[in-house]
Amino acid sequence: MERRKFVKDTALAAAAFSIIPSVRLMANEDKKVKLALIGVGLRGQAHLNNLLRRNDVDVIAICDIDERMLGMATDIIKKSGKPMPQIFKGDPHAYRKLLELKNIDGIVIATPWEWHTPMIIDSLQAGIKYVGTEVVLGITLDDHWKVVHEAEKQKANVMMLENACYFRDVLAVLNMVRQNVFGEIIHLQAGYQHDLRGVKFNNGIDPYDSGVEFGEKGFSEARWRTNHSVHRNGDLYPTHGVGPVATMIDINKGNRFLSLNSFATKSRGLHDYIVKKGGENHPNAKVKFKLGDIVTTQINCANGETIFLQHDTNLPRPYSLGYRVQGTKGLWMQVNHSIYIEDISPKHHEWDDEKAWLEKYDHPLWKRWANKDTESAAGHGGIDFFVLHGFVEALKRRLSTPLDVYDAAAWSAITPLSETSIELGNETVDFPDFTSGQWMYRKNNFCINDEY
């Protein structure tokens, strides 16, 4: 998502949230839940901000290994006027001490990707029944299986906090899909098309657009994410793209991903950026990046749909997730904000502006919860509010989370599978069935009403 806007959004959020009608956020207030956060970097702070604004949540503990991030997080807590949670820090396994607390109802994990699987597994083994993790679930296929097996063993919920599933346009289109406006769905496209050069490199102080350092000399994501571009070649961030379209075609709930293949271009963008900003003699100009600038992936689904995904983070470009949802009657193309439905669109072969369609089919969840204040206050245009709302409301009711461990595993598994496909010369590789056959019987209950 748009990281550059984060700091601005956070400040706006603090100012604006107080004018949201309190009755809304006080629904079910009697059922207060105690949450802990592992990782209060820039993303964890966004979650912290949103959680502190809820009357139904007590943040009782936070953990991080970076003093600066902890300082930023404690400033947010002080400003909120809420009690200071217990703080765990000092070493990379300090979170295990946090997990010894006996009164945690749920945990939110927002650490680097490589930490998600061990932190989820340890949380589940500590008896926590609601684990919300940032994208992605793990690194290897084995990681994904381990999380699925542990969640099943502990009868616990693992929800990947995929906020893109809650975009207002995405949910309106989901509503249209469910009302058969597009006919039978045939093909879907999406991607993570986000120029991350100014995130993958910085000066170790300012998070964005500030230098060409990474690793130990970098700050925030430059400290860890860039190493994945050095060592890995695949669709490293598939879930913002695939999550929303997977909910539209009932993946793991009557449908499933069967196989994929991936292609990667040569790698130029990150090297060129270092040379442009730091000069050709900068030591990082010698680094060889394995990640192709554009990785394209095709997925084949059990019910006959195909999905085309793109990962495009190293070249200059405006931000776009580029959703396309196409059926036997027509399609939505997010990139040109257009819809075309045969026999309904006024002009044959010409696009309609999506606006009237999206308003007509606005999802009940947005109709109920959104207002100007939530949109500006809750981050990423409101979706950060909705994803945490889903997690917290499910926890309060002790029901299944809106997105489950099978969604998280199948969507995240695209990364290791795409790496394998590229390594094998673009061979088509099979998806594991993380549901062990249950996909045939499970029902899609993602966002079926205005509750959460």
Ligand X SMILES: NC(=O)c1ccc[n+]([C@@H]2O[C@H](COP(=O)([O-])OP(=O)(O)OC[C@H]3O[C@@H](n4cnc5c(N)ncnc54)[C@H](O)[C@@H]3O)[C@@H](O)[C@H]2O)c1
Rule CB under 6 A: which residues touch ligand X?
Answer: 1, 38-44, 63-66, 69, 92, 95, 110-113, 115, 134-135, 163, 220-221, 223, 380
User: How many CB atoms are closer than 10 A to CB 316?
Assistant: 9
Upper half-sphere CA count for residue 274 (Cβ side, 13 Å)? 20
Q: In this complex, which beta carbon is closest to ligand X, that of residue 65 or of residue 285?
A: 65
Q: In this complex, which beta carbon is closest to ligand X, that of residue 191 or of residue 327?
A: 191
Q: What is the DSSP letter of 89?
A: -
Q: In this complex, which beta carbon is closest to ligand X, that of residue 221 or of residue 373?
A: 221
Tokens 């931000």 found at: 319
State the nearest-atom distance from the C-beta of 383 to ligand X, in Å: 8
Grouping H, G, I as helix, E, B as strand and the rest as coil, residue 75 is helix
State the nearest-atom distance from the C-beta of 272 to ligand X, in Å: 24
Rg, the chain, Cα only? 21
User: How many CB atoms are closer than 10 A to CB 8?
Assistant: 9
Residues facing 190 on adjacent strands? 309
State the nearest-atom distance from the C-beta of 146 to ligand X, in Å: 18
User: How many CB atoms are closer than 10 A to CB 283?
Assistant: 11
Q: Exposed, middle or buried by CB within 10 Å (0-12, 13-18, 19+), for 416?
A: buried
Distance (Å, rounded) from C-alpha 168 to C-alpha 149?
Answer: 33
Q: In this complex, which beta carbon is closest to ligand X, that of residue 35 or of residue 331?
A: 35
Grouping H, G, I as helix, E, B as strand and the rest as coil, residue 271 is helix
Q: In this complex, which beta carbon is closest to ligand X, that of residue 69 or of residue 301?
A: 69
State the nearest-atom distance from the C-beta of 10 to ligand X, in Å: 12
State the nearest-atom distance from the C-beta of 415 to ligand X, in Å: 12
State the nearest-atom distance from the C-beta of 161 to ligand X, in Å: 6
Which amino acid is it at 251?
A: I
Q: In this complex, which beta carbon is closest to ligand X, that of residue 3 or of residue 31?
A: 3
Q: Of 194, 197, 242, which is closest to residue 415 (Cα–Cα)? A: 242
Contact 199, 225 (CB under 8 A): yes
State the nearest-atom distance from the C-beta of 379 to ligand X, in Å: 8
Q: In this complex, which beta carbon is closest to ligand X, that of residue 237 or of residue 340?
A: 237
Distance (Å, rounded) from C-alpha 41 to C-alpha 265?
Answer: 32
Residues facing 301 on adjacent strands? 257
Q: In this complex, which beta carbon is closest to ligand X, that of residue 115 or of residue 357?
A: 115
State the nearest-atom distance from the C-beta of 180 to ligand X, in Å: 30
Grouping H, G, I as helix, E, B as strand and the rest as coil, residue 383 is helix
State the nearest-atom distance from the C-beta of 144 to ligand X, in Å: 15
Residue nearest to ligand X (CB): 41
Counting runs of H as helices and runs of E as strands, what totals does the chain give?
A: 18, 15
Q: In this complex, which beta carbon is closest to ligand X, that of residue 98 or of residue 299?
A: 98
Q: If residue 324 lies in a helix (H) or strand (E), which one and from where to where?
A: strand 324-327
